[in-house]
């Protein structure tokens, strides 16, 4: 079988494949069980294989590449326009195969095991943070039902804080309420212990990664942002320019232009929401403390603050930071801080 390009619709147990030859004629269209995948592709001569960048895609990309095949991952939103007729596994595999043949198609870099493992640590840490916030809100609402109004409970709230709050009240609480609050306090302690373990894992990664050490030097990027950026952008050379990298993160304006009239609105937010959040939060801190500084970047920020809202300026700075990150990742250079400007008295 002379197969030039194969599209695979990934699944848990049954995989659909669609293969064409050099003349784009369909030569294979079949289903494979999970235990048949390795055997089938081991017997094939090296060819181009395309898959959607979804669950298990990076694992199968690494596995099939080890068998000698050239594997490409495509974002699902770029495959959808090529789906013909109704949606089913066979049509999806055909659409993936067709999308991979487009000369200007943008592909997703395959993550190695180390990068994917660290990215999963970031995801788990993010889930734990959301669970902790939800738990604190539940505790506040529970206390409010009995007339105890607490201020916003933040990162400094611990089990001891909650127990002290109950003891400071002069009245006696019903036994079920006391037991419930102790259970919620214990759950908070467990979440705090998880956060400490996640932070320890990330700190270990920061100390051993040369890329992270270079990124930390950039204003507005801390250890967590640098680590997350390294894991997500495993091959920054896939982006031609820093603007493309910023667009991938969702930091460029949304366009609705027509008839020669350019109309721009807010940022697209199409990228990784976790990275987007970290970059903008870091930029907000830089904007907050730029007053009375005389370096080029701080003066640029101060000039923007005269005519734009703080959050708009923070997004603009996050865009600039993303371009700097792309330059550091692609060129392998160290960060050069903005030079100081001597202001006339």
Mean pLDDT of successive 10-residue stretches along the chain, which has 345 residues: 91 96 93 95 94 95 96 95 90 96 93 94 95 89 81 67 68 81 88 93 92 94 94 91 94 87 87 93 94 90 94 95 95 87 64
Among candidate residues 208, 235, 267, the one where a domain is terminated: 208
DSSP secondary structure string for all residues of 258-280: BTTB--EEEE---S-HHHHHHHH
Answer yes or no: is 343 within a domain.
Answer: no
Say yes or no: 235 and 161 in one domain: no
Q: What is this structure's pTM?
A: 0.86
104 shares a domain with 124:
no
Q: Which residues contact 111 (CB under 8 A, 6 or more apart)?
A: 58, 119, 231, 234
Asked, for residue 344, whether it belongs to a domain, the answer is no
The pLDDT score that the predictor gives to residue 170 is 59
pLDDT at 344: 60
Look at residue 86 and tell me if it is in a domain.
yes
> Does 171 share its domain with 264?
no
Q: Does one domain contain both 25 and 85?
A: yes
Give the model's pLDDT for residue 94.
96
Q: What is the pLDDT of residue 262?
A: 85
Q: Are 217 and 274 in contact (CB under 8 A)?
A: no
| Dist CA 270 CA 324 (whole Å) | 20
Show the tokens assigned to 217: 């030097």
Same domain for 11 and 96: yes
Residues 234 and 202 in one domain: no
What is the 3-state secondary structure of 105-135?
A: CCEECCCCHHHHHHHHHHHHHHHHHHHHHHH
| The predicted structure's pLDDT at residue 258 | 84
d(C-alpha 106, C-alpha 73), whole Å: 9
Answer yes or no: is 173 within a domain: yes
Q: Is residue 304 part of a domain?
A: yes
Within a domain: 340? no
Task: Give me the pLDDT at residue 181, please.
Answer: 84
The answer to the question of residue 342 being in a domain is no
Give dist(CA 252, CA 245) in Å, integer: 10
Instruction: Round to whole Å and give the CA distance between 60 and 336.
Output: 39
Does residue 165 lie within any of the structural domains?
yes
Same structural domain, 86 and 122: no
Do both 90 and 118 map to the same domain?
no
49 and 146 housed in the same domain: no
291 phi, psi to nearest 5 deg: -65, 140
Q: Are residues 162 and 243 in the same domain?
A: no
Both 239 and 158 in one domain: the answer is: no
Report the number of distinct structural domains present in the chain.
3
> 132 lies in which domain range?
113-208
Residue 102: give its domain's CATH number.
Answer: 3.30.420.40
The C-alpha atoms of residue 94 and residue 28 are separated, in whole angstroms, by 11
188 & 234 share domain: no
How many other C-beta atoms are found inside a 10 Å radius of the C-beta of residue 49? 27
Q: Choose the final residue of a domain: 182, 208, 234.
A: 208
| Domain stop point among 108, 129, 159 | 108
């Amino acid at each position: 079988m002379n197969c030039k390009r194969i599209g695979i619709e990934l699944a848990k147990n049954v995989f659909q494949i669609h293969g064409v030859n050099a003349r784009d004629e369909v030569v294979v269209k079949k289903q494979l069980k999970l235990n048949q995948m390795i055997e089938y592709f081991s017997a094939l001569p090296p060819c181009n294989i395309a898959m959607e960048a979804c669950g298990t895609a990076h694992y199968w990309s690494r596995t099939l590449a080890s068998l000698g095949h050239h594997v490409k991952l495509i974002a699902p939103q770029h495959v959808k326009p090529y789906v013909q007729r109704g949606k089913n596994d066979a049509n999806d595999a055909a659409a993936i195969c067709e999308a991979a043949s487009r000369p200007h198609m943008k592909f997703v870099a395959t993550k190695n095991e180390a990068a994917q493992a660290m990215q999963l640590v970031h995801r788990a840490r993010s889930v734990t943070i959301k669970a902790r916030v939800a738990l604190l809100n539940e505790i506040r609402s529970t206390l409010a039902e009995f007339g105890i109004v607490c201020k916003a409970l933040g990162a400094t709230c611990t089990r001891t804080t909650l127990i002290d709050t109950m003891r400071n009240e002069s009245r006696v609480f019903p036994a079920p309420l006391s037991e419930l609050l102790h259970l919620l306090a214990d759950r908070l302690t467990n979440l705090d212990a998880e956060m400490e373990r996640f932070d320890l894992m990330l700190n270990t990664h920061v100390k051993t990664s040369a890329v992270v050490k270079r990124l930390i030097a950039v204003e507005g990027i801390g250890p967590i942002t640098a680590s997350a950026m390294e894991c997500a952008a495993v091959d920054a050379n896939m982006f031609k320019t820093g603007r493309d990298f910023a667009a991938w993160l969702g930091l460029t304006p949304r366009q609705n232009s027509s008839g020669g009239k350019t109309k721009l609105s807010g940022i697209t937010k199409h990228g990784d929401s976790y990275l987007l959040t970290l970059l903008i939060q870091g930029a907000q801190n830089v904007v907050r403390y730029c007053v009375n500084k005389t370096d080029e970047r701080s003066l640029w920020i101060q000039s923007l603050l005269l005519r734009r809202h703080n959050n708009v300026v923070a997004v603009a700075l996050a865009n600039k930071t993303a371009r700097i990150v792309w330059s550091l990742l692609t060129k392998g250079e160290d960060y050069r801080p903005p030079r100081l400007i001597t202001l006339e008295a």
